[in-house]
């Protein structure tokens, strides 16, 4: 997923500078395997980047619980990961 697409898909990060989002996209790219995620790769890449932004100190409002490092992005990412591992389609 590129920066422009991330901006369209994840509008909740509109106040975050491009450089910070690009850094998260770059880190997320290293953690998301295109073979594993197949057609869902762009979504998984964006979700992983959003999760990284949300668990950063400024992202506390995006966490499911303020004292935990889990986010809705991470839960959706894991759901895709599990479905792909079990050869189930993701909606």
pLDDT for 17 equals 92
Distance CA 37, CA 41 (A): 5
- Quickly tell me which residue has 């890449």 as its tokens: 45
Tens of pLDDT, residue by residue over 53-79, are 887 766 555 545 555 566 777 777 788
pTM here?
0.71
pLDDT at 90 over 70: no
State mean pLDDT over 39-60: 84
HEC string of 21-58 equals: HHHHHHHHHHHCCHHHHHHHHHHHHHHHHHHHHHHCHH
């Amino acid at each position: 997923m590129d920066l422009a697409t991330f901006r369209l898909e994840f509008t909740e990060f509109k106040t975050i500078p491009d450089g910070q989002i690009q850094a998260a996209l770059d880190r997320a790219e290293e953690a998301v395997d295109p073979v594993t995620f197949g057609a869902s790769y762009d979504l998984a890449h964006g979700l992983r980047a959003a999760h990284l932004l949300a668990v950063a100190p400024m992202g506390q409002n995006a966490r499911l619980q303020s004292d935990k490092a889990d986010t809705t992005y991470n839960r959706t990412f894991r759901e895709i990961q599990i479905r792909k591992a079990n050869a189930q389609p993701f909606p």
